[in-house]
Chain A
Amino acid sequence: MNVVKHIYDEVHGYIPLTEVELRIIDTPTFQRLRRIKQLAQAWFVYPGAVHTRFSHSLGTMHLMNLITRRLINKGLIPQDDAELLRVAALLHDIGHTPFSHAIESYFRDAYGLSHEEISSWIVMEDPHISDILRDHGIEPREVAAIICGTHREVTYNMLLGSDLDVDRLDYLLRDALHTGVRYGLIDIHRIVTMVSIDGEGYISIPAKAVQAAESFYISRLHMYRSVYYHKTITAYQLLVKSIYEEMIKDHNIRNLLEPFTSAEGIKRAIRSGKIYVWDDFLVGGLMNQVIIKGLGSNELRNLIRLYLEREGYRVVYDLTGFTKNSISSRFKELLNPIVNALKDKGLSKYDVRTYFEVVPIVTDDACVRVASGSNSIPITRFKSSIISELPSTMYVVRVYSLPEKFEFVRRLIKSELP
């Protein structure tokens, strides 16, 4: 590895960079990630959670480097693909929307668009990024394939897209550090030094490293409850999504957001090398302009004011539980009384928001595997592991209300639910 520079990271220490990685990082497109927070709304609860997608991308690349060096030394991955994998890890989040998942949720609902897809467009069509890759003999389409999980080598896809992938390993550590949630910490060194690939391409660990994998799953579960699905954090994600939806509806505000209002618009910006302006500053700054200049509807200005003053949605009803079984029929039982309670009561679309999520704790299909000869078995079926006793999913059912309607909504729901 020809190192040209080191960059200091608060989680991993010094991260070495090769020439191609440095050139990518120095592009306006990559620098954009400095202006997109990793945990967009978490700072409403954890003031220190202001780290960015920039540092997370570097950290993910660093972990990919550590793991691939080990796999290359064991003869499981060709040396020639080392740089390809590092670059794919570096660029895996290049297409994240501003305000991370809050606005991605809008694009997923409206256009079926995900940040992985936007990332693959950037890798293949952004003139800054694609030219650099080609200059260094790296095929942009191959990088995009790893990011989207469609590379011919299944292991490459799983290194970036399975339960124990480099993305998750970095963000769990990073998010735990910046939120201060100590039970999110994992034994990263043990995992990185123990990971291997079995005969079918699955990521696997030896039986002696099972406790490290167990701590990963349990830490992740704690982070789900304390951070990623925290009632206040999801409330502000819903509020941001509501604000974005309302801004897009207003013709004048929509013009100020163009071209970042549709899939075609995003592609145009990428091709013209202008995607770098689509960041938290653009959307946040526009919210401020709406207030200062009195743009848009009263409803929109009210939502933005509530966001800026930390007076957003409050949870009226909150049910979080765990199960090993399918949740769908239970969901229907829980949802119907709530939906009935709120129907035809003169509430506006944004007065009340419902939130339903079913979160995997361990998935059979993408979970860590424990080596057994030349093959491996899912950790869920490894008898000596506590993972088999964990619930497979966590479900969250919430109803949020804007502050001015809180008491009204609370009484409605209370009258319908046992």
Chain B
Amino acid sequence: MRICCALKLASAVGLRNGDAALIHKVTYIAQRLYGLNLGYRFAWLAGGPYSRELAAELRRGCIEGSCNINHVDVIAKRIKALIMRVSRSTGLNVEKAIDLISSYLMLALDVYPRPVNVVLELTKRKPWVTRELAHAVSRELRSLIKAIPA
């Protein structure tokens, strides 16, 4: 059932079923930043946040029917708006904006040992990310991260 919600979320954000890598990242953003409780566990891999469970369920697809979480569309709208803001402020395309947002979040919240400087760490992990880009996404996400319930 949760895969149906993940696919609904991805579709509402504007992704296609074939954009598997982006679906992982958007699902991670929804869970971590906006509290969508799908229960996927994410690893920190070279491509960014990745969930083996999500990958397995994506291969099966939504065979149970539909998503029973009502606020998926609301969360999708907020994610879409966040992506657009980051995209505008950095000049990056949607794909790179999603990668930047999800990678920053994971470094800030879920990796261990915690980076002392997330901006610097992000530039080390993603060679295409300059300090300016990292600072731009940091500015967008700082207040959102602070608002996450403990």
Chain A positions near chain B (C-beta within 8 angstroms):
112, 114, 116-117, 139, 141-142, 144-145, 148-152, 154-155, 157-158, 161-162, 199-202, 326-329, 331-332, 335, 356, 358, 360, 363-366, 393
Contacts and interface: CB of A to CB of B under 8 A. Distances in A.
A152 B61 contact: no
A141 B45 contact: no
Contacts of B45: 149, 154, 157-158, 161-162, 365-366
Contacts of B59: 326-327, 358, 360, 393
B39 interface: yes
A148 B43 contact: yes
A363 B114 CA distance: 29
B110 interface: yes
Contacts of A328: 60-63
16 contacts: A114-B41, A142-B112, A145-B112, A149-B45, A150-B44, A150-B112, A154-B125, A158-B45, A200-B46, A200-B127, A201-B46, A326-B17, A331-B63, A365-B24, A365-B47, A365-B50
Contacts of A155: 46
A151 B111 contact: yes
Contact of B113 (A142, A329, A360): A142
A154 B113 CA distance: 12
B121 A329 contact: no
B46 A154 contact: yes
Nearest to B106: A150
B91 interface: no
Contacts of B52: 161
B60 A148 contact: no
Nearest to B18: A326
Contacts of A150: 42-44, 110-112
B46 A152 contact: no
A159 to B, nearest CB: 11
Interface in B32-87: 39, 41-47, 50, 52, 55-56, 59-63
B20 interface: yes
